[in-house]
C-alpha cells in the first residue's frame, strides 16, 4: 500500500508530502505523481517514489496506482478541462482497486453554485458514480491565495484592495498549510471513508477588516475599495489576467456576497486538532517575509 499524491509538485501537493514525511510515513510508502521528472527531483532525492503522468494522457496513469493505495486527487489548473482530466485519474484508480480516493474540491460541495466550483461538483459526482471509497476535502479559499496575502506587496504599493463584494460580506479562509495538514491526516489515518469535510478557517473576515489589519501591521494605509462587477473585471484584466479567469474571480466575489464562503463548521480545526491559523498571523508572516527580502 502506498499513499499517492497527484499534482505532488504543486504548492498544495508538496506541503501534503512534507506533512506525511513529518508524521513518520516512510518515504518509500509515498508516491508523488508529477508531469515532469525535473520538478520531482527533490522528492525523489528524499526517497519518495515518483511516477510521471499527465492528466491529459490516460495511458500515463495505467500503473500509477495499486490495489489498496490511498490516493489524493488534487485538481488540475486547466479550467474548463478539469472534469475530463479528473475522470482519467478516477478511471485508473477504479481499475487498480484503490482503498481510498480523496478529492480536493470546493467549499459547499453541491451547494457551491459559483462558476469556479462547477468542475468540482462534476468531479465529485464522477467519484460517487465510480463507487470508489472516497473522502471529499472541500476547501474554502486560501488566505495565501494570489488575491489575498500572496499579493500583499502589490496591495501595499497600491494602497488598496479591490473587490466587487457587497458591504459586510465575509470569507472564512485558512492558509494552504492548514489544508495540507488536514489532507495528510485523512490519508494516513483510518475512519475518513465516505465523509465530506467542509474545510474553512475558524473565523470569517471582511475585506475591510483585511485592509485594516494590513494597515495596522505594516504602518501603511491600505483601504478596501468595493467596485461594481464590471469595473472589477476591468481592473483584473488591466492587471494582465485573461478575460475568462477574471470572470471567474468576479463571480467568486458574487458568491462571497451571497455568503457561500463564510461558513465556519469547524471541520478543519477538528481534523488539525488545533485552531486554524488566524488572518492576522498570516499577514504578519507575509510581511516578515517581504521585509526580509
In a domain, 179, yes or no: no
pLDDT score of 80 more than 90: no
Specify whether 164 is located in the same domain as 126.
no
Angstrom distance (rounded) from CA 266 to CA 77:
27
- Give the contacts of 233 (CB within 8 A, at least 6 positions apart): 246, 247, 250
* DSSP designation for 137: E
Q: What's the CATH code of the domain at 57? A: 3.40.50.720
Asked, for residue 195, whether it belongs to a domain, the answer is no
Kindly list the distances between the CA atom of residue 178 and the CA atoms of 16, 67, 199, 276, in Å, as whole numbers in the listed order. 10, 29, 10, 7
Percent of the chain with pLDDT over 90: 94
Tally of domains within the chain: 2
Last residue of a domain, one of 116, 139, 162: 139
- 63 and 158 fall within a common domain: no
Strands 205-206, 170-171: parallel, antiparallel or unpaired by DSSP? Answer: antiparallel
* In a domain? residue 158: yes
Is pLDDT at 78 greater than 90 in this prediction?
no
| pLDDT at residue 224, as a whole number | 97
pTM of the full structure: 0.96
Q: Are residues 135 and 71 in the same domain?
A: yes
Pick the most confident of 75-79, 236-240, 277-281: 277-281
The answer to whether position 181 is within a domain reads no
Give the chain's length: 293
Residue 186 lies in a domain: no
Give residue 211's domain range: 149-170+202-263+277-292
Cβ atoms of 268 and 200 closer than 8 Å: yes
Same domain flag for 34 and 129: yes
Are 222 and 124 within one domain? no
CA–CA gap between residue 72 and residue 133 (Å, rounded): 12
| 33 grid coordinates | 505523481
Residue 178 lies in a domain: no
3-state secondary structure of 23: coil
Dump pLDDT digits (tens) for 256-279.
999 999 999 999 999 999 999 999
Considering the domain architecture, whether residues 7 and 122 belong to the same structural domain is answered as yes
Q: Are residues 79 and 9 in the same domain?
A: yes
Q: Which runs of E-coded beta strand occur in the chain?
A: 3-5, 30-34, 49-52, 70-74, 100-106, 134-139, 160-163, 170-171, 195-199, 205-206, 223-226
133, 207: one domain? no
Domain with residue 214: its CATH number is: 3.90.25.10
Q: Is residue 197 part of a domain?
A: no
11 and 119 both lie in a single domain: yes
- 97-103 mean pLDDT: 98
Statement to judge: residues 25 and 122 lie in one domain: yes
Give the pLDDT score at 91: 97
Classify each residue of 6-37 as buried b or exposed e, where b means 16 or more C-beta atoms within 10 Å of its C-beta. Answer: bbbbbebbbbbbbbbbeeebebebbbbbbbee
Res. 79 pLDDT band, cuts 50 70 90: confident
Judgement on whether residues 13 and 49 belong to the same structural domain of the protein: yes
Strand partners, 210: none
- Please report the sign of the dihedral spanned by the C-alpha atoms of residue 149, residue 154, residue 159, residue 164: negative
Q: How confident is the model at residue 106 (pLDDT cuts 50, 70, 90)?
A: very high
Sequential DSSP letters for 92-121: HHHHHT-SEEEEEEETTGGG--SGGGHHHH
* pLDDT, tens digit (0-9, with 9 covering 90-100), for 19-48: 999 999 999 999 999 999 999 999 999 999
Q: Does 85 share its domain with 165?
A: no
Cβ-based neighbour number of residue 191 at 10 Å: 7
Longest dimension (CA), the chain: 57
**pLDDT confidence tier of residue 239, bands split at 50, 70 and 90:** confident
238, containing H or E segment? helix 229-238
Residue 71 lies in a domain: yes
Amino acid at each position: 500500500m502506498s499513499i499517492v499524491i497527484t499534482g505532488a509538485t504543486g504548492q498544495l501537493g508538496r506541503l501534503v508530502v512534507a506533512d506525511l514525511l513529518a508524521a513518520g510515513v516512510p518515504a518509500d510508502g509515498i508516491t508523488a505523481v508529477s508531469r515532469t521528472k525535473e520538478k520531482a527531483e527533490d522528492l525523489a532525492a528524499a526517497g519518495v517514489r515518483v511516477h510521471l503522468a499527465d492528466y491529459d494522457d490516460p495511458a500515463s496513469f495505467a500503473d500509477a496506482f495499486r490495489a489498496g493505495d490511498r490516493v489524493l486527487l488534487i485538481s488540475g489548473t486547466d479550467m474548463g478541462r478539469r472534469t475530463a482530466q479528473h475522470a482519467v485519474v478516477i478511471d485508473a484508480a477504479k481499475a487498480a482497486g484503490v482503498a481510498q480516493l480523496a478529492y480536493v474540491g470546493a467549499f459547499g460541495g453541491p451547494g457551491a453554485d459559483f462558476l469556479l466550483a462547477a468542475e468540482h461538483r462534476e468531479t465529485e459526482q464522477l467519484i460517487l458514480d465510480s463507487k470508489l471509497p472516497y473522502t471529499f476535502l472541500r476547501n474554502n479559499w486560501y488566505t495565501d491565495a494570489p488575491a489575498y496575502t500572496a499579493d500583499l506587496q502589490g496591495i501595499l504599493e497600491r494602497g488598496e484592495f479591490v473587490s466587487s463584494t457587497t458591504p459586510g460580506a465575509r470569507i472564512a479562509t485558512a492558509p494552504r498549510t492548514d489544508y495540507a495538514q488536514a489532507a495528510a491526516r485523512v490519508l494516513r489515518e483510518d475512519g475518513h471513508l465516505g465523509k465530506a469535510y467542509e474545510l474553512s478557517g475558524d473565523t470569517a473576515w471582511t475585506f475591510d477588516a483585511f485592509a485594516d489589519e494590513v494597515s495596522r501591521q505594516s504602518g501603511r494605509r491600505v483601504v478596501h475599495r468595493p467596485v461594481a462587477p464590471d469595473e472589477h473585471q476591468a481592473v483584473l484584466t488591466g492587471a494582465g489576467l485573461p478575460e475568462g479567469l477574471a470572470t471567474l474571480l468576479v463571480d467568486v466575489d458574487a458568491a462571497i456576497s451571497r455568503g457561500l464562503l463564510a461558513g465556519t463548521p469547524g471541520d478543519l480545526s477538528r481534523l488539525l486538532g488545533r485552531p486554524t491559523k488566524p488572518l492576522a498571523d498570516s499577514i504578519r508572516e507575509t510581511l516578515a517575509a517581504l521585509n526580509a527580502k
